Amino acid sequence: VPSSMQCGTRRMGVMTDVHRRFLQLLMTHGVLEEQAVKRLQKHCYKVHDCNATVEKLEDFINNINSVLESLCIEVKKGVTEDDGRPIYALVNLATTSVSKMASDFAENELDLFRKALELIIDSESGFASSTNILNLVDQLKGKKMRKKEAEQVLQKFVQNKWLIEKEGEFTLHSRAILEMEQYIRATYPDSVKMCNICHSLLIQGQSCETCGIRMHLPCVAKYFRSSSEPRCPHCNDCWPHEIPEIFNPEKEREAGTSSSNKKSLRSRQH
Amino acid sequence: VGKKVKDLGYSRFAAEASHAEVCISPGVPMEGPPPASQAATLGEPQSLPFSPMDAPQASPSPQALSDEGDMRALLLEEEEDCACQAQSAAQAQPGLAPPTPAQLVQKAHELMWYVLVKDQRKMVIWFPDIVKDVIGSYKKWCRSILKRTSIILARVFGLHLRLTNLHTMEFSLVKALEPEELDRMALSNHMPMTGLLLMILSLIYVKGRGARESAVWNVLRILGLRPWRKHSTFADVRKVITEEFVQQNYLKYQRVPYVEPPEYEFFWGPRACREITKMQIMEFLSRVFKKDPQAWPSRYREALQEARALREAETIAHAFRSSISED
């Protein structure tokens, strides 16, 4: 291993093969849920340093991020919008445009994604219907794309974890939200929605019918956890929606059930 | 054409191979003539206990590894560049302001991410694409950008960005095998696997084409290894060779087309091609069968050719390394 690094990084944390393998595997998977990340971490220790105690995940990741900071990438933690599962992804902070994906997709495909993204952001539910997206096919930059082709491209986005499809409608994959939050906030400052509790980008959530503030479903669950009478944090009116049940790692470990058994509300409440 | 793991270091096998017959076919090089009717088989040593392997030498430093791959590609680019510059001087193109060091560093980071994403999506990392998509107008500084990216990838991710195919100018991200890991492998029970693997690779190499599973078991049987019996060192041998070695990309295990009932055959996997030289196979064979490598003349010739090509590549890389200035 070269002892001196001459790539402009001054503040380097300690990188060992444990961290390197972790990054390799995290990159391979794209986005992982927290339980899988913990297993991954243990695996890396087992392979490279089986005698060491496994560091607490948060510290482990902070250590890695101190090294990655100068490279403009980060192991970012997020939460799935529909059922509050913690997820991790290695994201690129530097690129500020959708051209992040540019190496994978053609010009007209990128433009299709942009159109879908705009529809999603503008929508109330955070979902854009397949029909509405496909109707924009004529407006795409680049080579002319037929609707049939566009359907396949949308499926490609789903496979690559940029979009999620639910019953013919599309929303952003949590990985896309993690990676593109800054870009979205910068590009659509007027139409973008924010969560009143955690102050990050909001695609799906619940909103107050009186004053219009919005909250992520996991944020709603956490905020109203012990409330018998949930009230809007902004205008104090009764909160009109059902408080969702959110992923609880403790409960799942005890029960030994998988997440698919948990009832996760469709996030189309507003 | 990357550097290979040098000298895996086998201990000698107690082989009673004095009467072993080794038939060689002219073999099937990639674009060569069709094979002769003779089938090639390895000899039949009577007993070959597997002894623990010597610890192998440490692999060359990641910097050297990536440099060598880079250099080839960049040498090609260098020629293009000179031509371009001559042209632009003649046409008096508007001069580009040289990028600041910070901009070069940023480009290196962009390239790092580009390569990681391509690899994640199992897409080919093609040198002309790198130049088109990332380097862009900084073509003249491609070499230093690529070098910086290689260093970062090695240091932070433990990956080597290596030119894996000079003809198609493809790069790959290859996992680095740190010396510590090699030592650990040697200390654990993994090293005997190397002998098993080399046996199969040698069989394939000598045959000059895929080795049918039946042929492989013919050889392994003599070593006391059987598909249905658990072995004290190797445990489930069949699992090791058809699953583990395949997963590790050392072997390919494929169905023979148009054959009923189904039969399978083994080929060299991409990792074997990268990490093991033909000369190492010849050394292995000569050690196991106590014969001069020239007992397999065409194979030996091939091994010599490969060794020469590797030496040449090293010479170029060395000359290049000593001629370029620091970043």
- Please state, rounded to an integer, the average pLDDT across all residues of chain B: 67
Beta strands in B238-325 (DSSP E): 251-255, 264-268
In a domain, A84, yes or no: no
User: How far apart (Å, rounded) are the C-alpha atoms in residues B181 and B183?
Assistant: 5
Domain co-membership, B304 together with B192: yes
In terms of domains, do A146 and A227 share one? no
Domain annotation covers residue B198: yes
Residue A205 lies in a domain: yes
Chain B residues at the A interface, defined by Cβ less than 8 Å, are 61-63, 101-102, 105-106, 108-110, 112-114, 116-121, 123, 129, 133, 148, 151-152, 154-159, 175, 178, 180-181, 326-327
Contact between chains at A71 and B152 (C-beta distance less than 8 A): yes
Is residue A121 included in any domain, yes or no? Answer: yes
Domain-located, residue A79: no
Residue B250 lies in a domain: yes
User: Does A27 touch chain B if contact means CB atoms closer than 8 Å?
Assistant: yes
Mutate to test the interface with A, among B63, B100, B106, B109 (most CBs of A within 10 A): B109
Q: Give the CATH number of the domain where residue B275 resides.
A: 1.10.10.1210
pLDDT value at residue B321: 67
Tokens of B215: 């042929």
What is the C-alpha to C-alpha distance for residues A228 and A247, in angstroms, rounded to an integer?
20
Cβ–Cβ below 8 Å for B133 and A103: yes
- Same-domain pairing of B131 and B246: no
Residue A117 near residue A162, CB atoms below 8 Å: no
Q: How many residues make up chain B in this entry?
A: 327
- Find the distance separating the first CA and the last CA of chain B, reported in whole Å: 25
**A211 is a domain residue:** yes
B204 confidence band (pLDDT: 50, 70, 90): very high
- The per-residue pLDDT for B9 is 25
Q: What is the rounded distance in angstroms from the CA atom of residue B320 to the CA atom of residue B325? A: 10
Residues pairing with A169 in the sheet? A129, A166
Half-sphere exposure of A241 (CA within 13 A, CB side): 23
- Neighbour count for residue A196 (Cβ, 10 Å): 21
**What residues have CB less than 8 Å from A168, skipping those under 6 apart?**
A129, A130, A131
Contact B156 A17 (CB under 8 A): no
Does B213 share its domain with B304?
Answer: yes
Same-domain pairing of B128 and B230: no
Asked if the structure places residue B251 within a domain, the reply is yes
Collapsed DSSP state (helix, strand, coil) of residue A237: coil
Decide if A43 is inside a domain: yes
Nearest to A27 among B116, B129, B151 (CB): B116
Q: Give how many domains chain B has, as a whole number.
A: 2
Residues B184 and B139 in one domain: no
- Same domain for B294 and B271, yes or no, is yes
Give B-chain residues touching A160 at CB under 8 angstroms: 121
Q: Do residues B242 and B296 both lie within one domain? A: yes
Kindly state whether residues B250 and B141 are assigned to the same domain: no
- In this structure, the answer to whether residues A207 and A139 fall within a common structural domain is no
Domain boundary among the residues A52, A71, A90 is at A71
* Cβ contacts of A72 on chain B, cutoff 8 Å: 106, 109
What are the Cα distances from residue A139, in Å, to A20, A142, A188?
A: 44, 10, 19
CA–CA gap between residue B16 and residue B20 (Å, rounded): 8
Residues in chain B closer than 8 A to A95 (CB atoms): 110, 113
Q: Could you please report the per-residue DSSP string of B61-114?
A: PHHHHHHHHHHHHHHHHHHHHHHHHHHHHHHTPPPPPPPPHHHHHHHHHHHHHH
Q: Tell me the chain A residues in contact with residue B148 when contact means C-beta distances shorter than 8 Å.
A: 7
**Strand ranges of the sheet holding B251-255, from the earlier edge strand across to the other edge:** B211-212, B264-268, B251-255
In a domain, A119, yes or no: yes
Of A25, A97, A117, A120, whose CA–CA distance to A64 is shortest?
Answer: A25
For residue A77, list its beta bridge partners.
Answer: A88
Higher pLDDT, A63 or B18: A63
Number of structural domains (chain A) is: 3
Q: What domain range is A235 assigned to?
A: 192-250
User: Which residues in chain A are contacts of B112 at CB distance < 8 A?
Assistant: 71
Burial A97-117 (b: 16+ CB within 10 A, else e): ebebbbbbbeebbbbbbbbbb
User: Which of B148, B176, B204 delimits the end of a domain?
Assistant: B176
Q: Which two tokens stand for residue B295?
A: 């007992």
Integer Cα distance of B188 and B184 in angstroms: 6
pLDDT one digit per residue (tens) for chain A, 270 residues: 343 443 444 444 578 888 998 998 898 888 898 988 998 898 888 887 778 888 899 999 999 999 998 888 999 999 999 888 999 999 887 755 445 565 667 888 888 999 999 999 999 999 999 999 999 999 998 889 999 999 999 998 998 888 999 999 999 999 889 888 888 888 899 999 999 999 999 999 999 999 999 999 999 998 988 888 899 999 999 998 988 888 776 666 665 544 444 443 333 343
- The answer to the question of residue B19 being in a domain is no
Largest distance between two CA atoms of chain A = 62
B59 falls within a domain: no
Confidence of residue B59 (pLDDT cuts 50, 70, 90): very low
CATH code (residue A66): 3.90.1150.220
Residue A267 lies in a domain: no
Asked, for residue B288, whether it belongs to a domain, the answer is: yes
Does residue A231 share a domain with residue A198? yes
CATH number at A132 reads: 1.10.10.10
SS3 labels along A27-90: HHHCEEEHHHHHHHHHHHHHHHCCCCCCCCHHHHHHHHHHHHHHHCEEEEEEECCCCCCEEEEE
Dist. CA B15–CA B49, nearest whole Å? 8
Closest residue in chain B to residue A92, using alpha carbons only? B113
Contact A223, A187 (CB under 8 A): no
Whether residues B134 and B229 share a domain: the answer is: no
Measured distance CA(B172)–CA(B123) in Å, rounded: 10
Name the closest residue on chain A to residue B158, using Cα atoms. A20
Domain end point (choices A137, A157, A188): A188
CATH, residue B128 = 1.10.10.1200
| Same domain flag for A107 and A166 | yes
B63, closest residue in chain A (CA to CA):
A2
**Which one of B59, B131, B157 would you mutate to disrupt binding with A, by most A Cβ within 10 Å of its Cβ?**
B157
Residues A196 and A182 in one domain: no
Q: Is residue B62 part of a domain?
A: no
Residue A169 burial (CB count, 10 A): 19
Please tell me which residue of chain B has the smallest CA distance to A47: B181
Q: Write the secondary structure of B6-58 as one string of H (helix), E (strand) and C (coil).
A: CCCCCCCCCCCCCCCCCECCCCCCCCCCCCCCCCCECCCCCCCCCCCCCCCCC
Same domain, A63 and A105: no
CA distance B153 to B148: 9
What is the C-alpha R_g of chain B? 23
pLDDT of residue A257: 46
Q: What is the value of ipTM here, to two decimals?
A: 0.76
Which residues of chain B make contact with A28, given a CB cutoff of 8 A?
120
Q: Based on the domain organization, do A196 and A183 belong to the same domain? A: no
By C-alpha distance, the chain A residue nearest B147 is A7
Of A169, A188, A207, which residue constitutes the final position of a domain? A188
Task: Tell me the C-alpha to C-alpha distance, in Å, between residue A153 and each of A146, A157, A183, B290.
Answer: 11, 6, 22, 60
Chain B contact for A177 (CB, 8 A cutoff): no
The rounded percent of chain B whose pLDDT value lies above 70 is 60
Calculate mean pLDDT across residues B32-57.
31
- Are B118 and B202 members of one domain? no
Instruction: Tell me, yes or no, whether B130 and B214 share the same domain.
Output: no
Is B94 a domain residue? no
Residues A174 and A239 both lie in one domain: no
Using an 8 Å Cβ cutoff, are A73 and A93 in contact?
yes
Query: How many residues comprise chain A?
Result: 270
Residues A206 and A148 in one domain: no
Structure tokens at A24: 């390799």
Max alpha carbon distance in chain B (Å)? 76
Domain assignment of residue B262, given as a range: 180-314
Q: Do B146 and B245 lie in a common domain? A: no
- Using a CB–CB cutoff of 8 Å, tell me whether A92 touches chain B: yes
Residue B52: asked if its preceding bond is cis (omega within 30°), the reply is no
Interface of A with B in 43-62 (CB under 8 A): 48
A6 part of contact set with chain B, CB < 8 Å: yes
> What's the gap between Cα A265 and its chain centre?
18
